[in-house]
């Protein structure tokens, strides 16, 4: 499954266009490698996503084409969530 679609379906990022923009700016890595929006995500991959002052590390647990809001969180496990301090 494409990275931008995974982020949208799993509801980590609400809109696919936003997911595409973030990925194409080089702010997402999969298994330590910078990923573009068209990069394939597989079960077990570790994604590190940099949002402004937040860094989210997740593991892809399931890949489904569509999901309900309540089941979206089952697609991934949050491994780490860091916030940069701003002064």
CATH number at 38 reads 3.10.290.10
Q: Which long-range contacts (CB under 8 A, 24 or more apart) does 48-57 make?
A: 49/7, 49/12, 49/13, 49/22, 51/22, 51/27, 53/83, 53/84, 53/86, 54/81, 54/82, 54/83, 54/84, 55/80, 55/81, 55/82, 55/83, 55/84, 56/12, 56/80, 56/81, 57/81
| The total number of structural domains that make up the chain | 1
pTM across the whole model: 0.85
| Residue at 30 is within a domain | yes
| Residue at 86 is within a domain | no
| Residue at 87 is within a domain | no
| Residue at 12 is within a domain | yes
| Residue at 45 is within a domain | yes
Average pLDDT, the chain: 91
Cite the beta strand spans of the chain per DSSP E.
28-30, 33-34, 46-51, 54-60, 76-83
Contact in structure between 76 and 12 (CB atoms under 8 Å): yes
**Percentage of the chain surpassing pLDDT 90?**
75
Region 1-12: mean pLDDT is: 93
The domain in which residue 77 lies consists of 1-81
């Amino acid at each position: 499954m494409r990275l931008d679609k995974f982020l949208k379906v799993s509801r980590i990022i609400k809109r696919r266009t936003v997911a595409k923009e973030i990925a194409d700016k080089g702010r997402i890595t999969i298994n330590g490698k910078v990923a573009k929006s068209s990069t394939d995500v597989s079960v077990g991959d570790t994604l590190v996503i940099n949002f402004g002052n937040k860094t989210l590390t997740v593991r892809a647990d399931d890949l489904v084409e569509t999901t309900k809001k309540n089941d979206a969180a089952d697609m991934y496990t949050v491994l780490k969530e860091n916030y940069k301090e701003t002064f």
